[in-house]
Amino acid sequence: MRSRLAALGAGIVLCTLAGCSRAAADPGPPPVQVVEQPAASAGGACILWDYAFIRDKIGVTFTVAGSDQVDDTSTCVVQTENGDYPNLALSVVESTSADADVFLKDLMPAKATKVKGLGRAGYRLVSRGSGGHGPSIEISWLSQAAQLQTLKFTFPKDAKPDQVDQMSTRLVSLANAMNTTSG
């Protein structure tokens, strides 16, 4: 019996000196490797985007995308893993018979301003924050390919007026880069 206890004690001492532990005998599952999926992998209108393209155009890095499709309208929303805001939404109506006059007369909200040089016709609407979010900027246009496209950027509650002004200009740049010229 003594020899068994001595052997067990010697084994414990050796294992302690060698850095053995119970965890070493059972290492558990391997570490999880997170792979960022491209925004386009969400489908829908997200196929028109990738995170680098958005970051290059508006200076915001998004990491999560989701989409939907209802009839001929496809949507995509991108946001960060850290919360709901900021987020950027894109809506694309595949085709419309509306012309520039109808777009501006019937689809442009009363408080919006025209955006010259964007598609056949375009507008910008800046709205105040409400609920759990800050201001939002909507850029909508009738593309040369007769699609209705809308971008909407929604800020977190703490957005400053100069951030809204800068983003407004950047969103028009993004819209121009996305303007389709053929169907």
* Sequence spans of domains, the chain: 39-178
Q: How far apart are the first and last CA of the chain?
A: 88
* 15 phi, psi to nearest 5 deg: -65, -40
What does the pLDDT average to over 70-98? 95
Residue type (1 letter), 65? A
Tell me, what's the pLDDT at 31? 76
Collapse the DSSP code of 45 into the 3-class scheme (helix H, G, I; strand E, B; otherwise coil) and give the result.
helix
Confidence band for 35, pLDDT divided at 50, 70 and 90: low
Of the ranges 34-38, 97-101, 133-137, 165-169, which one carries the lowest mean pLDDT score?
34-38
pLDDT greater than 80 at residue 15? no
- How many CA atoms lie within 13 Å of 4's alpha carbon, on the beta-carbon side? 1
User: Quick one: fold of 39-178?
Assistant: Protein Transport Mog1p; Chain A (3.40.1000)
The percentage of the chain sitting over the pLDDT mark of 70, rounded to a whole number, equals: 83
Nearest to 98 by CA among 121, 78, 65, 75: 121
pLDDT greater than 90 at residue 123? yes
Q: How far apart are CA 52 and CA 60, in angstroms?
A: 9
Confidence band for 134, pLDDT divided at 50, 70 and 90: very high
